Amino acid sequence: MTSRLLLALPYFTVVVLIVLGLAVMLSKRNVVKILMGLSLMESAVNLFLVATGYRHDSVAPIFTNVPAGPMALPTVQALTLTSIVIGVATSAMMLSFAMVIYKKYGTTDIQKIKKLKG
């Protein structure tokens, strides 16, 4: 069991990060902390994508002065790059929304923002 855990350690790290992010998002009331949980889950997804494309003893898929050997899969790395940039854009949007909410309501507690409830 332990060797199995070590063999697929990145995937288990992904699971731990996703569950932690979900727990933070569901249990916290502060908007900024909820966004932190969301960012944590985003990082977990990025890690999952990169881990999917790893081959044993492989090098990065860049041919400049590279040692001989297998190369890691490039497509998932390209998709991860896209995902990171979209993540930065959405994080900036959400944090701006949090700032506007704080300006309008004077609090970031989602329980106290009554006006958003219907």
99 binds other proteins (CB under 8 A): yes
> Which residues have a Cβ under 8 Å from the Cβ of 17 and sit 6 or more positions away?
40, 41, 43, 44, 47
Q: Name the strand (E) or helix (H) holding 100.
A: helix 74-105
113 binds other proteins (CB under 8 A): no
45 binds other proteins (CB under 8 A): no
Please give the distance of CA 21 from its chain centroid, rounded to a whole number.
Answer: 9
Residue 12, token pair as written in the block: 């288990």
Q: What are phi and psi of 89, to 5 degrees?
A: -65, -45
**Distance between CA atoms of 23 and 34, rounded to whole angstroms?**
10
How many residues sit in the footprint of other proteins (CB under 8 A)?
A: 56
54 binds other proteins (CB under 8 A): yes
In the window 55-94, what residues touch other proteins (CB under 8 A)?
Answer: 55-56, 60-68, 71, 73-75, 77-78, 81-82, 84-86, 88-90, 92-93
Binding site for other proteins (CB under 8 A): 4, 7-12, 14-16, 18-19, 22-23, 26-27, 51-56, 60-68, 71, 73-75, 77-78, 81-82, 84-86, 88-90, 92-93, 95-97, 99-100, 103-106
